[in-house]
Amino acid sequence: MTRPQKPLFTMAMTLSAVLLLLTLPAYCGPYLSYLVTLALIFSIFALAYDLLFGHTGIVSFGHSIFYGMPAYAIGMVTSTVLNNHNPFLVLSVALATGLFLGAAVGLICSFSRGIYLAIVTFALAQIFELLILSDPGGVTLGENSITGVRPPPFVFADLSVNLFSGTGLYYLTLAFFLLVLLGIKLLIGSQWGQVFHAIRENEERLLSLGYNTRPYKILAFALSGGISAIAGSMMAFLNNVVSPSMVDWQIGAEILLITVLGGAGTLIGPVLGAFVVVFTQTFASSLIGGGNWVYVLGGLYIVVAIFLPGGIMAKLSSLMPRLFRR
């Protein structure tokens, strides 16, 4: 009997997953659609972080900057500064903010390595959080948050299409997720991706060969910042509010744990980690109370660290040969 080929099996699984996500709102309720939208948002954020951590080998505790500040840029455009809800302007400003902050933080961090670089990112995250809470010029509203940041529905003739709430936002987030997934797959297979991997494996050797790694680090930060900005924007639209918790350094630590849980340096691992964490939080909160789910999640991280040191994806990869043999 002919054994199934691994590429064909992988393609079939990928197409099945995409088809499932495309048809999900048709046979599930609004709450499940909300949860999957939330998981897709964290998947985009985890993919952005994994580009820096898993593929370039840079540990950052400041990714909340690239997630929260573009959301605050949306809040300023739509509410506290311009009062402009044009969706193209809103998304463009958010993306530009993520790219710019990513490049700026990358430039600062390119002068340090290892644990010192992680400390620098942590300090920068604290600075930005204090900046938001101080409410400079009344543009961030401090601890009060910014509400009403969703753009209005698109109107074509007599047809109104709302892409920023409910099912419309689900499909918009799914579209961004698929684009980010495809873009990162192409990037890590390109020459830039090979240099990112070389920096992760042995930056000293790369320097000895005459490569200037600083521009590549800045590029990795900028791309990661831009993708994180997409996740932050979708979260702002999902909740219709931008709060200081989006800039808290803990969100950066959480996305690090999500990436490690799923499997850093893999394409699907961060996505699996995001879905596991979102649904674990939901079901644990419903079973043992909203304030106690962190204990379940902490136990999950401990189990993975002890028994699955490479993350969930590493275990699945080791099971695949057995599946093919059968």
What is the distance of C-alpha 123 from the center of its chain? 21
Residue extents of the structural domains in the chain: 28-249
Neighbour tally for 162: CB within 10 Å: 16
Q: pLDDT digits over 175-233, tens only?
A: 999 999 999 999 999 999 999 999 998 888 888 888 888 999 999 999 999 999 999 99
Q: pLDDT digits over 85-144, tens only?
A: 899 999 999 999 999 999 999 999 988 888 899 899 999 999 999 999 999 888 999 888
What integer is the mean pLDDT of 281-302?
74
What is the pLDDT at residue 6?
56
Q: Report DSSP letters for 196-245, one per residue.
A: HHHHHHHHHHHHHTT---HHHHHHHHHHHHHHHHHHHHHHHHHHTEE-GG
Spatial distance between the Cα atoms of 251 and 254, rounded to a whole number of angstroms: 5
Q: Cβ(249)–Cβ(62) under 8 Å?
A: yes
pTM for the structure as a whole: 0.91
